[in-house]
Amino acid sequence: MKTIVINTGTEILLGDVLNSHLSFIAREILPLGLRVDRQLAVPDGEAIRDALSESSGQAEIIFVTGGLGPTTDDLTREITAEFLGLELQHDAAVMAAITARAARRGFRLTDRTERQARVPRGATVLPNENGSAPGLYIAAKATGKKSPHLFLLPGPPRELKLMFTASVLPLLRKIVHRESVVDRRTYRIAGMGESLVEEAIGERLLGINGLELGYCARPGEVDLRIIGEPAALAQADAIIREGLGASIFSSDGGILEEVVVKLLTERKQTLAVAESCTGGFLAHRITNVPGASAVFLAGYVTYSNDAKEGMLGVDPRLIASDGAVSERVAKVMAEGARQKADAAFALATTGIAGPGGGTDEKPVGTVFIALATADGAPTQVRGFRFPDDRPTFKELTTQAALEMLRRSLLA
């Protein structure tokens, strides 16, 4: 069944928000054998009608996101009802849910709130546990003319996600009547460029019948995606594991911080981090993982030199002689953090994120990463050059740090 996602919202086309709906919906529907064949984004207003009109002939399932809220630019409900020739009716149950939610949260209702309780005749209401505007499902048979299954979903991602899992997926299962035999797998690879990954395994994978292959380069990572039936996937899996080995850090969708927290948890080890240039991002990535509190003890965000001295015991003479961004300061930071937090491992970062602060000898992008361990092994220090914008610099540095720890945990 052909599937189209229509994202409505002038804010998307003006670039005020990133479209996260497409990604979420695509991942949720794949196990049902459904793929998004096309996605389009249109502004609020009449363009929604055009998008519905042209997509209705191209797809059996259409998801429309956004434009169900209370404000004057929210028009999806009205335009869709008019397009399908379905009258809008006040739904008392929806209104009661909106009123109860507002009371629970201490919100006051405004005059416009009632619009969210209007439901096209024959549509199924999809409850919104995380917001006030409900979603709507209009079955293919509900209108006279040939029409697709139509899902109207709210714009705020938290609202859409919960509604999708709770209400949309059960409806989709009835529509498609089966789970798919085609599956996907994504291998995440650290420490190798895209071309080298393809060189290592690409030719051999191209020989597998019915295998769909994709490469995606990300900061400090290459994601290799394969889609196919179980036999093709098994054949590919053997080639990929043989060719890439320990460079693969996950094949179940896990991101690097999740893999590291899992390895630490399994090995009953603890971690502290000392961050200068990454400014808390390393701790943030680790603490994003549910259950991180079992292994992560403390983070020392020592942005100033005084903080490096006071919090980690870095000798000011060392900073004076070598500079705060240096191999030896990284080493002492990691060792200080490990001892102070009484952790099995400690990672430290010190570098020049830019845009200012670079010198001829140490240009913007220079960074040192250290890993101290409790097992008596010498502290590892590695130098990198990531001459990138500030967010990418932080991303690449924390990725390299987590990968150093992962490799050490595997050894």
Q: What's the min distance (Å) between Cβ of 273 and a copy of itself?
A: 8
Q: What's the min distance (Å) between Cβ of 106 and a copy of itself?
A: 10
Which is nearest to 48 in space by CA: 14, 17, 10? 10
Is there a contact between 333 and 276 (Cβ–Cβ < 8 Å)?
yes
Is there a contact between 257 and 288 (Cβ–Cβ < 8 Å)?
yes
Indicate left, alpha or beta for 332 from its phi (over 0: left) and psi (-120 to 50: alpha).
Answer: alpha
Which is nearest to 176 in space by CA: 128, 140, 129, 210? 140
**What is the DSSP secondary structure assignment for residue 344, as one 8-state letter?**
S
Question: H-type helices in 166-255, by residue range?
Answer: 169-176, 194-206, 230-244
Indicate left, alpha or beta for 163 from its phi (over 0: left) and psi (-120 to 50: alpha).
Answer: alpha
Q: What's the min distance (Å) between Cβ of 44 and a copy of itself?
A: 7
What angle (nearest 5°) sits at the alpha carbon of residue 44, between those of residues 60 and 18?
80
CA 125 to CA 138: how far, in whole Å?
9
* Closer CB to a copy of itself, 33 or 156, in the complex: 156
Helix axes 327-341, 305-312, angle to 10 degrees: 40
CA 282 to CA 193: how far, in whole Å?
23
Peptide bond into 127 cis (omega under 30): no
How many other CB atoms are found less than 10 A from the CB of residue 247? 18
CA 389 to CA 223: how far, in whole Å?
22
By DSSP bridging, strand 3-8 and strand 380-385 are: unpaired
Is there a contact between 121 and 90 (Cβ–Cβ < 8 Å)?
no
Is there a contact between 318 and 332 (Cβ–Cβ < 8 Å)?
yes
* Closer CB to a copy of itself, 124 or 269, in the complex: 269
